[in-house]
Amino acid sequence: MPPRLLAFDLDGTLLTSDKRLSRANASALNDMARCGAVVVFASGRIGSSMMHYAAGLSCDPALLTLNGAAVFTGAARGSRRVYSAPLAPEFAEALVDHSERADYAVNYYLDGLLYTVRNERTARWNDLYYAQTASAYVLVESLRALRGSAPHKIIFVGDPLVLDKEEHDLRNRWGADLYIVRTWDYYLEFLSPEADKGKGLAVLAKEYGIPLAETAAFGDANNDIPLFKAAHTAIAVKNASPEAKRAATRVSEWTNDEDAVAREWERIKKS
């Protein structure tokens, strides 16, 4: 029997490199739903950005947003939030204070909105993130205005070499207290240790009454490794990172630009 719940990373996996949902992959998602499976979008993106890709589908995807920090059922079940794992306010404040004069942008995800500061140091990084995700920003003069809040995620968006140093330093400082993950050369993400795609998958499987033994996951990056560990079948696309490939149960012979999801779905149905 095919899996009853299938979870898909978006960027680098379900989407092409130019951020499109191909006709073949869209058709495959709809076919999964016709076969009775639950389709899950599992991304580091905010929900509003993810929903752009659900608009033309006949299936009803559940949303595992912000790397698993906020998880929602599909619309047919009321788009209910069934899991929430925000950052503790003291860590959010410390990250904002640490980065206030840095030459990178800071994305602050709070209550379904994305806040940032745009100035001469951050503008190109704001634009880079928007070009990749089309996520709408709420611009503020300082993120200190949000002091005391508990965001679901914070991302530093900037030069890879600068983020390399930040990652090294902040892992040494908070590595035991935060989930710190590099999801792209230009992104360094900070979340609660209770937030990852694997935990989100487990919550959704329980919500829909589906054993984890009947789940499958597709991904390409290191933040997909917890998802792979939770799912029964884990498929890394051909363009996946070496670490993601090692964590997968199978590595596809196709990339995200070669409709890997659609091709693997046909293979699953025939097996």
- Inform me whether the pLDDT recorded for 167 exceeds 90: yes
In this structure, what is the dihedral angle of CA atoms 261, 244, 9, 69, given to the nearest 10 degrees?
160
- Rounded mean pLDDT of the chain? 97
- Return the pLDDT at 219: 98
Residues 77-86 pLDDT 10s? 999 999 999 9
Average pLDDT over residues 153-172: 98
> Are residues 187 and 201 both part of a single domain?
no
- Inform me whether the pLDDT recorded for 226 exceeds 90: yes
> Are residues 165 and 202 both part of a single domain?
no
Range of the domain at 71: 5-84+195-270
> Are residues 183 and 200 both part of a single domain?
no
Model-level pTM?
0.95
Residues 22-53 pLDDT 10s? 999 999 999 999 999 999 999 999 999 999 99
- Inform me whether the pLDDT recorded for 232 exceeds 90: yes
- Return the pLDDT at 120: 96
CA distance 98 to 31: 47
Examine the fold and report which residue of 139, 163, 191 is the final residue of a domain before the chain moves on: 191
- Return the pLDDT at 1: 82
Please give the full DSSP string across 73-92, using - where no structure is assigned.
--GGGTT-EEEE-PPPHHHH
Strands 81-84 and 250-251: unpaired
Average pLDDT over residues 226-242: 98
Residues in Cβ contact with 90 at an 8 Å cutoff, skipping those fewer than 6 apart: none
In this structure, what is the dihedral angle of CA atoms 205, 179, 157, 39, given to the nearest 10 degrees?
-10
- Tally of domains in the chain: 2
Half-sphere exposure of 200 (CA within 13 A, CB side): 36
> Are residues 203 and 79 both part of a single domain?
yes
Half-sphere exposure of 41 (CA within 13 A, CB side): 35
Q: Which of 195, 226, 223 is nearest to 212 (CA)?
A: 226
- Return the pLDDT at 214: 98
Phi, psi angles (nearest 5°) of residue 106: -120, 120
CB atoms within 10 A of CB 200: 30
Please give the full DSSP string across 40-71, using - where no structure is assigned.
EEE-SS-HHHHGGGTTT-SS--EEEEGGGTEE
> Are residues 180 and 97 both part of a single domain?
yes
- Return the pLDDT at 271: 84
In the chain, the amino acid numbered 99 is S
> Are residues 152 and 224 both part of a single domain?
no
Residues 96-146 pLDDT 10s? 999 999 999 999 999 999 999 999 999 999 999 999 999 999 999 999 999
> Are residues 74 and 94 both part of a single domain?
no
| Distances, alpha carbon 173 to alpha carbons 88, 179, 215, 223, in Å | 16, 12, 36, 20
Phi, psi angles (nearest 5°) of residue 138: -105, 115
Sign (positive/negative) of CA torsion 218, 222, 223, 229?
positive
Q: Which of 138, 131, 105 is nearest to 119 (CA)?
A: 105
CA distance 41 to 210: 16
As a whole-number percent, the residues of the chain with pLDDT over 70 amount to 100
What CATH number is associated with residue 173?
3.30.1240.10
- Inform me whether the pLDDT recorded for 195 exceeds 90: yes
Structure tokens at 207: 């919500």
> Are residues 64 and 154 both part of a single domain?
no
